Amino acid sequence: MADTIAAAATAMTASGIGIIRMSGPDSRKIAGKIYRSKGGKKKIEEVSTHTIHYGFICDGDEVIDEVLVMVMDGPRSYTGEDTVEIDCHGGVLAMKRVLETVIKYGARPAEPGEFTKRAFLNGRIDLSQAEAVIDIINAKNEYALKSSVSQLRGNIQRAVKNIREGIIYQIAFIESALDDPEHISIDGYGETLKEEVKKQKKAVQKLLDTVREGKLLKEGIKTVIVGKPNAGKSSLLNLLVGEERAIVTEIAGTTRDILEETIVLSGISLRMIDTAGIRNTEDVVEKIGVGKAIEHAKDADLVLYVVDSSVPLDENDEEIIQLVKEKKAVVILNKTDLDQVVFEQELREKTGQPVVPISAKEEQGIDDLEQQIKDMFFDGELSFNDEIYITNLRHKTALEEAKKSLELVEDSIEMQMPEDFYSIDLMNAYEALGSIIGEAVGEDLVNEIFSKFCTGK
Residues 155, 279 within the same domain? no
pLDDT category of residue 108 using cuts at 50, 70 and 90: very high
Residues 93, 145 within the same domain? no
Residues 261, 362 within the same domain? yes
Residues 277, 308 within the same domain? yes
Q: What is the CATH number of the domain that holds 206?
A: 1.20.120.430
**pLDDT, tens digit (0-9, with 9 covering 90-100), for 236-276:** 887 877 654 433 334 344 444 557 778 777 677 888 887 76
Residues 223, 363 within the same domain? yes
Say how far residue 35 (Cα) sits from the centre of its chain. 39
Domain with 34 in it: 5-110
In degrees and rounded to multiples of 5, residue 344 shows phi and psi of -55, -50
Q: How many domains does the chain fold into?
A: 3
Residues 267, 374 within the same domain? yes
Q: Mark which of 110, 141, 163 sits at the end of a domain.
A: 110
Which pLDDT score, from 0 to 100, does residue 256 have?
41
Give the pairing type, strands 268-274 and 221-227: parallel
Query: How far apart (Å, rounded) are the C-alpha atoms in residues 192 and 169?
Result: 13
pLDDT category of residue 277 using cuts at 50, 70 and 90: low
Residue 195 falls inside a structural domain: yes
Residues 269, 171 within the same domain? no
Residue 288 falls inside a structural domain: yes
Which pLDDT score, from 0 to 100, does residue 21 have?
97
**pLDDT, tens digit (0-9, with 9 covering 90-100), for 157-207:** 999 999 999 999 988 888 887 777 776 767 778 888 889 999 999 999 999
pTM of the full structure: 0.74
67 pairs with which residues across the strands? 55
| 279 against 122, higher pLDDT | 122
Say how far residue 208 (Cα) sits from the centre of its chain. 15
Query: How far apart (Å, rounded) are the C-alpha atoms in residues 413 and 325?
Result: 44
Q: What is the CATH number of the domain that holds 93?
A: 3.30.1360.120
In degrees and rounded to multiples of 5, residue 392 shows phi and psi of -110, 125
Residues 15, 161 within the same domain? no
Q: What is the CATH number of the domain that holds 270?
A: 3.40.50.300
Residue 78 falls inside a structural domain: yes
**pLDDT, tens digit (0-9, with 9 covering 90-100), for 319-356:** 888 888 888 888 888 888 888 888 888 888 888 889 98
